[in-house]
Amino acid sequence: MTRLASLRARLGLAVLTPLLLTACSSSKPIVQDDNAPPFVFRSLDLRQQDQRGRPAWSLTSPEARYDLRRQVAQAVTPKGVIYRDGQPAYRLQATSGTVLNDGEVVLLEGQIRVEQMGRQPVLIQASRVRWFPSRQRMEIDRQPRASDPQYRLSSQHATFLFDQNLLKLRGKPLMERWSRRFDPFKDPARSDPDAVVQVSEADWNPSTGELQARGPVQANRRVPGRSRSQPLQSLTASALAGNTQHQQLRLLAPVIFLDSVDQARLEARDVRLDLKARTASSRDPFQGRRASLSARGQGFDLLEAQTSVEIPAGCVITLASDVLTAGRCRWNWVTQEVEADGELELRRQEHQQITRGQRLRGRLGTEGSVLVSRPGGRVFSQFQVPNRPGPPRLQRPRPAPEPIRL
């Protein structure tokens, strides 16, 4: 009688009510047959409330088997709801479920879906989950993956803490990103991701999008418009943080970016990425190159949509034999146009030319031309003029010697 009463109180098994009433009204002791088949119920309805009397979780099934001796209930196609502060937060479903120890543990198997309800759609999928309802915890040890409209996160093992709304990914976490948005609940057959990021550990909040990942970070990105046969861009960092909903990420030093197609390399410290605006920025010293151009300075703002990079302080650009030093400069890597402001100096190897001014506009390189100005002042410029050979010197003919006279 004690086990049945405990099961009724903890799980709310309404289907056992007639059995309980019959057992309580009988004065004869119950003799349990260990070989007796388990009870088969037409439906299963498990519910639990929190300490304030609000719904905490529920689990239903159209058919279930209950083993009275082992206190194990096996459910077919179970469905449930997990509440937060009395409001539905997640709905779940699985191919099969096993309720152990009067609801202390629920083992879900098969095609498992945990859907976040609300404004931000998130789908968590797996093939086996151990759910601890009273601890508000899920252990996912087979194929855990979580998808929102633009990201999919996966790993070898994951832990979902409902009270913190935190998904902890462990065992080679992988983050995939698509530029195009999808409906995660429909789970369409997505194309290859635009970017793939590998980290050692990751913590993600499905509701807010907050992300913390420990490195080493290894990312690969396919540039839009490039052929699939061309190499991917690669990026490494020591750690990663940001927000997947805001599409903003922060890469921690040291950050190294490589693009073999454009012969580009960037070495920097902390770098911030705005994936929606397609920008990258830093306020720490950096150095980089692209083909024959190299640059360094105190921070940068890279605008991919405008194919340009701006160095806000301490700019030094070297292209072919030209070296430009300025307080601030901007360079377009497609048109090769350059702008510079502040106390600037342009050194060109040809004629050993040195030009100093306040503003520069033009194109660097042997084929380019620049205009240097100093509003309200003079531009200083010096160069060497090579010596040109002049016409041959005309010498006066010597007079013929007089003939010898005898």
Question: How does DSSP assign 23-46, residue by residue?
Answer: HHH--SPPPP-TTSPPEEES-EEE
Q: What is the pLDDT of residues 220-255, one digit of tens each?
A: 999 988 898 999 999 999 999 999 999 999 999 999
Position 349 pLDDT exceeds 80: no
Position 5 pLDDT exceeds 80: no
Cβ atoms of residues 223 and 233 within 8 Å = yes
Q: Which is more confidently placed, 199 or 15?
A: 199
Closest CA to 277 of 247, 251, 255: 247
Cross-strand partners of 79: 60, 93
Mean of pLDDT values over 201-215: 97
pLDDT (0 to 100) of residue 380: 53
Mean of pLDDT values over 50-54: 90
> How does residue 28 score in pLDDT terms, banded at 50, 70 and 90?
very low
pLDDT (0 to 100) of residue 270: 96
> How does residue 397 score in pLDDT terms, banded at 50, 70 and 90?
low
Mean of pLDDT values over 50-74: 89
Contacts of 106 (CB under 8 A, 6+ apart): 59, 97, 98, 99, 100, 130, 131, 132, 133
pLDDT (0 to 100) of residue 4: 35
pLDDT (0 to 100) of residue 54: 94
Helix (H, G, I), strand (E, B) or coil at 299: strand
Position 299 pLDDT exceeds 80: yes
pLDDT (0 to 100) of residue 18: 32
DSSP E strands, 291-402: 293-303, 308-311, 315-319, 322-326, 328-332, 337-348, 353-363, 370-373, 380-382
Mean of pLDDT values over 18-33: 35
The chain-wide mean pLDDT, for the chain, equals 84
Q: What is the DSSP letter of 18?
A: H
Q: What is the pLDDT of residues 83-140, one digit of tens each?
A: 999 999 999 999 999 999 878 999 999 999 999 998 889 999 999 999 999 899 999 9
Q: What is the pLDDT of residues 328-343, one digit of tens each?
A: 999 998 888 999 999 9
Q: Which is more confidently placed, 405 or 20?
A: 405
Maximum C-alpha span of the chain = 178
The percent of residues in the chain predicted with pLDDT above 70, rounded, is: 80
Cβ atoms of residues 201 and 169 within 8 Å = yes
Q: What is the pLDDT of residues 143-186, one digit of tens each?
A: 999 999 999 999 999 999 999 999 999 999 999 999 999 999 88
Q: What is the pLDDT of residues 358-390, one digit of tens each?
A: 999 988 766 667 777 676 556 556 555 555 665
> How does residue 23 score in pLDDT terms, banded at 50, 70 and 90?
very low
> How does residue 24 score in pLDDT terms, banded at 50, 70 and 90?
very low
pLDDT (0 to 100) of residue 35: 57
pLDDT (0 to 100) of residue 402: 54
